[in-house]
């Protein structure tokens, strides 16, 4: 999760990127221990042997640091989806790419898809990355075609449907993509929070069953 740079920076820029990367790593450690709402730049500075004012030269405040973490998380999922789509992935493959990404780092998953951080508001570019993720899923759902009757929600979507670039998207594909997104996140959120522990079944098989049911519907 550290900033690696492009290899063309000055020594000063490389040092700054390294420190910012370490700050983010310490932030993830805090999130894993106490949650994003308890994130403290002063505590991170103390852990790194820095003064609070010194750390604020790298991040202006808590919200800027949270934004960086959320941007990294969304960008990681967008890249995962893009790579899967580039390899010819269908909706099923994207669903499993989502689960693999979530299981690889549950804290990252919950930062973007869990309980909102109190008092934090994401900037517009974060929304744009989220829309990029949905656009990839929309493409996959559009390829499934429309083989079900229209619902009142489909009618509602007539005035709201669009791809990430603003062009019209087919209403059935939007509905199906939203259904995929909500149901799969529901299963993932319960699994990652440990709510299936002790129930005696494989959450992976439940996820597979949900995907199959979504495709059949």
pLDDT digits (tens, 9 = 90+) for 90-109: 999 999 999 999 999 999 99
The pLDDT mean for the chain works out to: 86
Q: Is residue 144 within 8 Å of 215, Cβ to Cβ?
A: yes
Give the Cα separation of 49 and 55 in Å (integer).
Answer: 10
How confident is the model at residue 26, as a pLDDT? 95
pLDDT digits (tens, 9 = 90+) for 158-170: 655 554 455 555 5
Q: Is residue 73 within 8 Å of 126, Cβ to Cβ?
A: no
Give the Cα separation of 63 and 65 in Å (integer).
Answer: 5
How confident is the model at residue 6, as a pLDDT? 55
Domains of the chain, start order:
1-60 (no CATH), 66-216 (1.10.357.10)
Give the Cα separation of 193 and 212 in Å (integer).
Answer: 23
Please state the pTM of the whole predicted model: 0.83
Give the Cα separation of 90 and 144 in Å (integer).
Answer: 9
Please compute the mean of the pLDDT values over residues 13-17 and round it to a whole number: 92
pLDDT digits (tens, 9 = 90+) for 43-73: 999 999 999 899 999 999 999 999 999 999 9
Q: DSSP class of residue 37?
A: G
pLDDT digits (tens, 9 = 90+) for 172-193: 778 888 899 999 999 999 999 9
């Amino acid at each position: 999760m550290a900033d690696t740079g492009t290899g063309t920076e000055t020594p000063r820029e490389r040092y700054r990127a390294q420190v910012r990367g370490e700050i983010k790593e310490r932030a993830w450690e805090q999130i894993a221990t106490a949650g994003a709402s308890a994130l403290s730049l002063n505590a991170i500075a103390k852990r790194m042997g820095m003064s609070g004012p010194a750390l604020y030269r790298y991040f202006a405040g808590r919200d800027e640091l949270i934004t960086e973490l959320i941007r990294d998380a969304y960008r990681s999922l967008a890249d995962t989806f893009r790579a899967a789509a580039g390899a010819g992935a269908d909706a099923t493959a994207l669903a499993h790419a989502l689960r693999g990404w979530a299981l690889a780092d549950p804290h990252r998953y919950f930062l973007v898809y869990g309980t909102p951080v109190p008092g934090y508001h994401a900037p517009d570019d974060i929304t744009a990355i989220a829309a990029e993720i949905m656009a990839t899923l929309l493409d996959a759902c559009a390829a499934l075609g429309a083989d079900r009757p229209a619902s009142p929600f489909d009618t509602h979507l007539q005035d709201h449907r669009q791809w990430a670039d603003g062009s019209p998207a087919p209403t059935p594909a939007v509905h199906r993509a939203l259904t995929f997104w909500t149901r799969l996140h529901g299963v993932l959120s319960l699994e990652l929070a440990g709510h299936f522990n002790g129930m005696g079944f494989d959450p992976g098989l439940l996820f597979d069953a949900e995907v199959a049911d979504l495709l059949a519907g």
